[in-house]
Amino acid sequence: MAQMIYLDGQLVERDQAKISVYDHGLLYGDGVFEGIRAYNGRVFRLDEHIRRLERSARALMLDIGMTHEELCEATIETCRANDVRDGYIRLVVTRGVGDLGLDPRKCPKPSVIIIAANIQLYPEELYETGLRLITCSTRRNSPASLDPGIKSLNYLNNILAKIECIQADVPEGIMLTNAGMVSECTGDNIFVVTGGRLVTPPVEAGILDGITRAAVIELAEQENILCVEKLFPVAEVYTADEVFLTGTAAELVPVVGVDGRVIGNGKPGPMTKRLLNRFRELTRSEGTPIHV
Ligand code: PMP
């Protein structure tokens, strides 16, 4: 069965799903996106993802031209057309086709793309062995230049940091704010565990307001684990008992080393495992049903 892609109101075969070379999403990275997961035939936190997409679009004065309900429905419809049960969904809205100048007013109609695929993202082994990270020298975009809270198609800041990770042969890296405090990773948020409490940088630090991050904060509250949102230097990561990353693709992934230093005892810690288990229970027990 050919994969079906949602493109501007229609489901088309993957080979037919094409975008103009004049699309400002391509020419300028002018657009927004979301990465969403489906678990066991249900889309996890669809409402929150669509709301974040709408917030990002509003920040760019990009009118998606679809209501919240229409976006949710189109996402579910695309999952259904591809018989998705456990999968990853990519929703992209670009400024649309314009001329070669920057002016977004020359782009009368946004392009809306939804890709839904049944894929296994990370090997289970990763959750047992944990990741090693580096601190990247590329600083996270200053919110005064391009707010990292906007999930835009302009991911070059993250890609430059990712290239540093690749050169260092690690899968992820910590990005610092302009002031030198920990912000987040290239595609994940970060938590440290010290003395039984969780610490994570605040959204105001200039990070993406992660949906997984928010779910972990909720779970911590339910479990009576104190979670503090505050700025901290990378030195606090080095001395933490545990470190883990959160993201739609990663879920909660343990970190066992940073910049050549060992975190905790070099193995995924009990708090990380406990919260990962709780998160997995959550993702399998709620969500918008795909197949009715
Ligand atoms: N930070 C960045 C820069 C991201 O791109 C992502 C999403 N991949 C995250 C954090 C995690 O956000 P979420 O939990 O909503 O996927």
Residue 189 beta carbon below 6 angstroms from any ligand 1 atom:
yes
Amino acid 114: pLDDT: 98
Q: What's the chain's length in residues? A: 292
Q: What is the structure's pLDDT at 245?
A: 98
The pTM assigned to this predicted structure is: 0.97
Q: How far is the CA of 100 from the centre of ligand 1 (A)?
A: 31
Centre of ligand 1 to C-alpha 11, Å, is 27
pLDDT of residue 119: 76
What pLDDT does residue 85 have? 94
Q: Give, using CA atoms, the residue closest to atom 7 of ligand 1.
A: 187
pLDDT at 101: 97
8 Å CB contact between 43 and 92: no
Any ligand 1 atom below 6 A from CB of 34: no
Reported in sequence order, the residue ranges of 44-202 that DSSP labels E, i.e. its strands, are 87-94, 111-117, 131-135, 172-176, 182-185, 189-194, 197-200
Whole-number Å distance between alpha carbons of 162 and 156: 9
Nearest CA to ligand 1 atom 9: 188
Positions in the chain whose pLDDT score sits under 50: none
Determine the pLDDT at residue 1: 80
Q: Domains in the chain, ordered, with CATH?
A: 4-117 (3.30.470.10), 126-283 (3.20.10.10)
User: Both tokens of residue 282?
Assistant: 């959550």
Q: Which residues are catalytic?
A: 151
Is the minimum distance from the CB of 161 to ligand 1 under 6 angstroms? no
* 5-39 per-position pLDDT tens digit: 999 999 999 999 999 999 999 999 999 999 999 99
Residue 125 CA, chain-centre distance (Å), reads: 21
What is the DSSP annotation of 3-42?
Answer: -EEEETTEEEEGGG----TTBHHHHH--EEEEEEEEETTE
* Residue 97, helix vs strand vs coil: strand
